[in-house]
A and B are shown apart, each in its own frame.
Chain A
C-alpha cells in the first residue's frame, strides 16, 4: 500500500484487519473500513474508471458519490459506486463500460474523435438515410449504458419497514448533529440519518491542519450516546420527500419508510470543480476528496499536489496536505484579491501562492494515466479570460481543486421550499420553507464551523416550537464575510476538454453550442446537452451549468433557476423498492382437500380456487370436459366459498335492499331467494347475486367472488347516508359454500338429511335452514350451472365435514368435483352473463339485456334516476347469446374478437366456449340492436381476420340438461 499514510486521528480503517480482493484481475489488499476506491488509491492505482462517452481514463473526483467516475462490477452486482462501497474480502472487481480492461480499453479511440462527436450530434446525424438507421441504432445501443444487466440475477427480498419519529434530521454533519442533540435534550424522538459510514460529515476531514480538529466530533459523538430518544442510521440516504413528512430511507439492506412530525434538512453541499482543460485526469480531484482520502482512510491523494482554488477551502486543504506529509507544489487562486489569514500560514511554510491566476491546463503524464504538471497563467475574473501568453508549467502529480459549492437541497425542493439565489454567498438558499420543514448548515448557506453549529441549534428550536414545545427563539446566524463559491470558475481553452459534467463528458463549449442552437432555457439545455442526466444526476455539475447558462444568456442566476430535483436522491436498486410484496391470498376450508385431489389452483380475485382437477393420462381439456359432462349427466360438486356473503339484519332490512338493489324485496317471502342486481349512481352494473330472506328482518345475500369487498363497502357507504334501522355483517369468510349440481344432486343430498321431504319440497329459488350431516346449513336451490343445483352454506370451520360427506354420498352417482374452468362452460350453457366479464365499466342493464331485473316503478333504487335517462336514448349495443353456424371455422373466435357489420365494428364477443353438451361453440356477444333479433346472423372477425358466422339464439342454451339450442 504505497500511498497509505501513518495512522491519522479519527481514521475509519482498522489496520488490524487486512482484506484481499482483485481489481481488473490483479490482487490487492486493503483494510477493513476502506472503500473500494480508497484501497485502490492506497495501492497506487489511479486509473479506476473510464468516462461514459469518450472513454477517457478517470480517477477520484468527489470521492463522495457525487460523481460516477468509478463504477465497478463484482460478480452479479454491477454499477457499484466504488467511492462509497465498503471493501469486502474476496471481491472480484472489474470496471464497467470498458472493453479489454480499464487501461487498455478498446474504445479509448473515441476520445481522439471527440471533436466530431459534440453534444446532440446523434440527434442530427443518423436519421437520414432512413434505411441506415437500424445500423446506427445497433451501434449506439451497444455503446450506451454502463454496467451489463444480469438477466439471471436472483430475486432478493429486501428489508422494508415503517418507522415513526418526532423529528427526522437528514445529514449528520455539524449542523445536523447539533440540531439532533438539541432536540434529544428537549425529550423528543429523533432519528438522524447520514449516508456516510460514520457520523460527522466534514468534521471527519476538514481540519485545516488544526491539531484538535477531530476532538470536537468525538465529544459530540459521546454526547449523542447519552440520549436513548436519539437514534441514528448511517450508510443510508433519504431518497425523497413525500407528502405529510413521509420519507423513504434507503439503507444497505432495504428501505425504511419513515413518518416524521417535522424534518430538519442538514444535507450540506456538493463541492463543484473549477472548469479547465483536462480537469478530469486521474490525479485531479476535488479538495474535499483529497481531505477524505487523507483523514478518513489515511491515504495520500498525491505526492506533490498543486491546489487550484477560488475560495478559502483551497487554503484549508493545502494546510491539511502539508500536515499529512504531501508536498504542495503551489496554490493557485482564481481570485485577484483573496482575503484569508490562512494565506499567511501557507506563505510562512514556504508555499508559493499565485493570486489572480488559473490553471489553464492540466498536463497528462506520459502514459496519460496521471498528471505531470499544471500550466498556469493570469486570469481576468471580470471577463473570465485566461492570459495564456504568460503561462508557465508547475510540476506536480495531482491537483486539488475547489471553486465552490451547491446546496444538497433536493429534499427541500421536493418539500415545496421556495429557494432564492443569495449573491453574497453565490448559492441558492431557502427563502420560504414548508410547515414543519427546516434547513440548517451549509444547505442553508452557513459554512463557518461556528455558524453551522449555531444554525443547527436555531433549526432545532424552530422545530421544537413547531411541535408545540416551549423553547427560546434563536435568531438566524449572521453570515460571515467572503463567499465560499466563486461566481464563474470557468477557464476557456481552444482545445476544450474542460469538463463540467463528468458523468456525460459535457464540456464548457457544449453549453455555448446548445445555446447557439436555441436551447437556452435551463431545462431545454439539460436535455440537449444531457448535463445532470447521468447517474450522479448533476450533483457536481448543475451549479456550474447554471452559471454558464446565465453568462451565455446574460441573465442573473436567479432568473435562470435550477433544474427539478426529483426523487430518488441516488439511483436506487429496484430490489430495494420491490422488496417483499404483500399479495394476500385466501384459501377455503376445503383447500387441503383440493390439493390432495390434484386440483390445479388458480388465483381468482384474492382466492385460490381449483381451476380443474388433474387426472392421470388425460389432458386439461379432457379433464374439464369430463367435469362438465359429470354435472350434465350425473352430479358435480364445486367449492363456492369464495362468493361474497353479507347478512342484513333489522326492521328496515328489506327497505335497505329495496334501495340498494334494482329488484323488489319488501314483498319477498321468507324462505325464498331473489336475483339481485346492484348499480352505481350512473346506472352501470356493479355486481349481482342472490338475496335469501331467512326471516322478516334477516336477509342473507351473496355477491360475486371478486366484488365482495366492494359491495360491502358500498352498502356501508349508503347506510351512512340512509341511516336505516339495519345492521350489516360481512360473513364471507365465516361461511363456506358448496354447489351440488346435476340431476343426481337431489338424491345425494337426501342421503344426508334426516327428513328427505325437506329437500323434495324445496322449489327452485327456495332457501331453508337445515341440518345436513348435523351441520347447520343454509340450503338454497339455485340453478346457476345446472337447472337442478343446491348451494349449501355452512360455518367455515365445519365445512370439511359436509364436503367429505357429500363426496362420499355421491360416489354411487359418479359425483365429480369440478373447478372454475368447467363452471364457466356450465354457466354459459345456462346462458348466464357474468358481471365484469360480460359487462364492462360502462354497461347498463338495458345493454346487458337484464331489464327483467329492474323494478323501475319503485320509488328509488341506486342508479334508477340514470336509468330513466338512459332508457329514453336508443341503445347502441345489446348482449345476445349466439352459436356458431359451423364448428368447422378455420379459427375459433376468441373473447374480445369483434362483431363486424359491413366492415364496421358492431360489437364484441364477451364469452365463447365449446359446449361438450351441445357439441357446439356458443357464446355471448354485444351486437347492434338491429342484429339482436332471434335467428339473426352476424359475423365475428377472428385473430386471423377470418369472418365466422354466428346466429343469435335463445338462452338457456340447454334445456332439461340435454336439450338443444
Chain B
C-alpha cells in the first residue's frame, strides 16, 4: 500500500553566485554540496546547484522580505511548486514505476535528483523512506490523476 499526499508548499527559490553566502548570513544552514538537501527547523533546504537553492517553510517569508533590497549576485526565483509525498509499503514499487532512475542508490546520503517523475520535471528526495518530490503546480492535476490510475 502506498500513500500519496499533496502538499501545497510555500517555497522560495534563490539563485546567483552569492546565494550560498547570503543564505548563511541570513542564518539558513545550507547543504555543503550541490544536489543534496537538509532539514531546517522550518522546512527543507535543497541545494540544486552551486548557486541555486529551494527553501521551503516559514523561513521563506523572512528571506523574501530580505531580498526586497537588492543584493548583488543573489536573485529571487519565483516558484509555484507543489510537493508530493509518497510513503508506505508500496512507495518504492510506485517510484520504480514512475521514475527511471535508481532511486535506492542515488538518493542515499541526503542526495537529491532533478529528474522526471511520471514524465514531469521534478526535484526528488528520500526522507526517511518517504519520497518527496516537487514540481510545478501546473502539473498537480496530472500527477494526482496518473498516480491514482497506477494505484488502481
B residues 32-46 with Cβ under 8 Å of A?
none
Name B52's closest neighbour in chain A (CB-CB). Answer: A727
A583 / chain B contacts, CB cutoff of 8 Å = 119
A776 to B16, CA, bound (A): 23
- Please give, as numbers and ranges, the residues of chain A lying within 8 Å of B100 by CB-CB distance: 162, 257
Does A471 reach chain B (CB closer than 8 Å)? no
Contacts of B146 in A (CB 8 A): 580, 582
Please report the C-alpha to C-alpha distance between residue A194 and residue B142 in the assembled complex, in whole angstroms: 36
Given contacts A163-B96, A164-B105, contact A586 B15 (CB under 8 A): no
User: A795 CA to B11 CA in the complex, in Å?
Assistant: 13
Closest to A160 in B: B97
CB < 8 Å: which of B75, B97, B101, B150 contacts A727?
A: B75
Q: Restricting to A886-929, which residues have a CB under 8 Å from any CB of B?
A: none
A733 at the B interface (CB under 8 A): yes
Bound Cα distance A929, B14 (Å): 51
Name A144-198 residues within 8 Å CB distance of B. 157, 159-164
Name the 4 nearest CB pairs between A and B, nearest first: A582-B119, A733-B136, A734-B78, A586-B138
Closest to B78 in A: A734
Which chain B positions have C-beta within 8 A of A589?
137-138
Whole-angstrom CA separation of A957 from B141 in the bound complex: 40
Judge whether B142 and A586 touch: CB under 8 Å.
Answer: yes
Please give, as numbers and ranges, the residues of chain B lying within 8 Å of A157 by CB-CB distance: 149-150
Q: Which residues in B have their C-beta under 8 angstroms from that of A584?
A: 118-120, 139, 142
Interface string of A574-593 (1 = CB under 8 A from B): 00000010111111110100
Chain B residues contacting A419 (CB-CB under 8 Å) are none
Q: Number of A-B pairs whose CB atoms are under 8 Å?
A: 85
In the docked arrangement, what's the CA distance between A732 and B96, Å?
29
Q: What sequence of 0s and 1s flags, for each residue 615-651 of chain A, a beta carbon within 8 Å of any chain B beta carbon?
A: 0000000000000000000000000010000010100
Chain B: CB-nearest residue to A728? B15
Closest-CB distance, B152 to chain A (whole angstroms): 9
Chain A residues with Cβ below 8 Å from B141 are: 585, 587, 591
Q: Are B13 and A729 in contact (CB under 8 A)?
A: yes
Is B26 at the interface (CB under 8 A from chain A)? no
B136 touches A586 (CB 8 A): yes
User: What residues make up the interface of B, taking CB atoms closer than 8 Å to A?
Assistant: 13, 15-16, 75, 77-80, 93, 96-102, 104-105, 118-120, 136-142, 146, 149-150
Given A580-B150, A584-B118, A584-B142, A649:B96 Cβ within 8 A: no
Q: Which residue among A587, A588, A734 has the maximum number of chain B CB atoms within 10 Å of its CB?
A: A734
The one of B16, B96, B137 in contact with A162, judged by C-beta atoms closer than 8 angstroms, is B96
B137 surroundings in chain A (CB, below 8 A): 589, 733, 796-797
Q: In the complex, which residues of chain B have a beta carbon less than 8 angstroms from the beta carbon of A591?
A: 141
A295 interface residue, CB < 8 Å from B?
A: no
Q: Cβ of A649 and Cβ of B80 under 8 Å apart? A: no
By a CB distance below 8 angstroms, the chain A residues around B138 are 586-589, 607, 641, 733, 796
Of listed B79, B80, B140, B149, residue having the most chain A CB within 10 A: B80
- Please give, as numbers and ranges, the residues of chain B lying within 8 Å of A796 by CB-CB distance: 80, 137-138
A351 within 8 A of B: no
> Contact between B139 and A586 (Cβ–Cβ < 8 Å)?
yes
Q: A731, B77: Cβ atoms under 8 Å?
A: yes
Contact B96 A585 (CB under 8 A): no
Q: Complex formed: what's the CA distance from A647 to B78 in Å? A: 10
> CB < 8 Å: which of A580, A582, A727, A797 contacts B80?
A797
Residues of A within 8 A of B80 (CB): 733-735, 795-797
Q: Which of B99, B102, B138, B139 has the most CB of A within 10 A?
A: B138
Q: Are B97 and A159 in contact (CB under 8 A)?
A: yes
Known A-B contacts: A161-B97, A586-B136, A735-B80. Give 9 more (CB < 8 A). A160-B97, A162-B102, A584-B118, A584-B119, A586-B139, A588-B138, A641-B138, A729-B78, A734-B80
Alpha-carbon distance A133/B139, docked complex (angstroms):
54
Interface membership of A458, Cβ < 8 A: no
Interface check A259, CB cutoff 8 A: yes
Please, which residues of chain B bring their CB within 8 A of the CB of A731? 77-78
Residues of A within 8 A of B104 (CB): 164
Minimum CB–CB distance for A295 against chain B, Å: 35
Q: Which A residues between 785 and 838 are near B, CB-CB below 8 angstroms?
A: 795-797
Cβ contacts A to B, 21 pairs, < 8 Å = A157-B150, A161-B93, A161-B97, A162-B102, A163-B96, A164-B102, A580-B146, A580-B150, A584-B139, A585-B141, A586-B138, A587-B138, A729-B15, A731-B78, A733-B136, A733-B137, A734-B80, A735-B78, A796-B137, A797-B80, A797-B137
Chain B residues closer than 8 Å to A735, beta-carbon distance: 78, 80
Question: Which residues on the B side are within 8 Å of A162 (C-beta)?
Answer: 96-97, 99-102
Q: Given A159, A585, A729, which contacts B75 in the complex, CB threshold below 8 Å?
A: A729
Q: Bound state CA distance, A160 and B138, in angstroms?
A: 25
Closest A residue by C-beta to B145: A585
In the bound assembly, the distance between CA atoms of A795 and B149 in angstroms comes to 30
The chain B residue sitting closest to A157, CB to CB, is: B149
A163 to chain B minimum Cβ distance, whole angstroms, is 6
Most buried by B among A164, A583, A641: A164
**Distance (Å) between the CB of A642 and the closest chain B CB?**
9
Query: How close is B48's CB to chain A, nearest CB, in angstroms?
Result: 12
A423 to B43, CA, bound (A): 70
Q: From residue A245, how far is it (CB to closest CB) to chain B in Å? A: 13
Residues of A near B102 (CB, < 8 A) are 162, 164, 259
The residue of chain B having its C-beta at the shortest distance from the C-beta of A259 within the complex is B102
- Docked Cα-Cα span, A941 to B140, in Å, equals 46
CA distance A368 to B68 in the complex (A): 93
Cβ–Cβ < 8 Å partners of B79 in chain A: 733-734
Residues from chain A with Cβ under 8 Å of B13 in the complex: 729
Residues of B within 8 A of A164 (CB): 102, 104-105
Question: Which residue of B is nearest A796, CB measured?
Answer: B80
Q: Which residues of B contact A727 (CB under 8 A)?
A: 15-16, 75
Shortest CB distance A578–B (Å)? 14
The interface residues of chain B lying within 8 Å CB-to-CB of A795 are 78, 80
Report Cα–Cα, A29/B100, bound state, in Å. 44
Nearest to B93 among chain A residues (CB) is A161
Nearest A residue to B77, CB-CB: A729
In the bound complex, how far is the Cα of B59 from the Cα of A83, in angstroms?
Answer: 65
Instruction: Tell me, rounded to whole Å, the shortest Cβ–Cβ distance linking A668 to chain B.
Output: 20
User: Which residue of B is nearest A709, CB measured?
Assistant: B121
Instruction: List chain B residues, Cβ under 8 A from A641.
Output: 138
Complex Cα spacing A589 to B141, Å? 11
Q: Which residues of B contact A580 (CB under 8 A)?
A: 146, 149-150
A582 to B98, CA, bound (A): 9
**Interchain CA distance A502-B105 in the complex, whole Å:** 48
Q: Which residues of B contact A586 (CB under 8 A)?
A: 136, 138-139, 142
Which residue of the partner chain B has the closest CB to A585? Answer: B142
A695 to chain B: closest residue by CB: B70
Q: Tell me, rounded to whole Å, the shortest Cβ–Cβ distance linking B66 to chain A.
A: 17
Question: Nearest CB to that of A607 among chain B residues?
Answer: B138
> Hey, which chain A residues are within 8 Å of B140, CB to CB?
587
| A647 to B101 CA separation, bound complex (whole angstroms) | 30
- Complex alpha-carbon distance, A796 and B140, angstroms: 13
Contact A582 B16 (CB under 8 A): no
Residue of B with least CB distance to A164: B102
Which single residue of chain A is at the shortest CB-CB distance from B98? A582
Contact with B along A220-251 (1 / 0, CB 8 A): 00000000000000000000000000000000
Which of chain A's residues has its CB closest to B79's CB? A734
CA separation between A159 and B150, bound complex, in Å? 8
Please give, as numbers and ranges, the residues of chain B lying within 8 Å of A163 by CB-CB distance.
96
- A798 to chain B: closest residue by CB: B80
Give the Cβ gap from B133 to chain A, nearest Cβ, in Å.
14
Bound CA–CA A162/B150 (angstroms): 14
Instruction: Give the shortest distance, in Å, between A779 (CB) and chain B (any CB).
Output: 16
What residues of B have a CB within 8 angstroms of the CB of A582 in the complex?
Answer: 98, 118-120, 146
Interchain CA distance A732-B78 in the complex, whole Å: 9
Give the CA-CA distance A584 to B149 in the complex, in Å. 14
Contact with B along A851-895 (1 / 0, CB 8 A): 000000000000000000000000000000000000000000000
| Nearest CB on B from A386, distance (A) | 58
Is there contact, CB below 8 Å, between B142 and A649?
no
Kindly state the separation between the CA atoms of A908 and B118 in the bound complex, as whole angstroms.
40
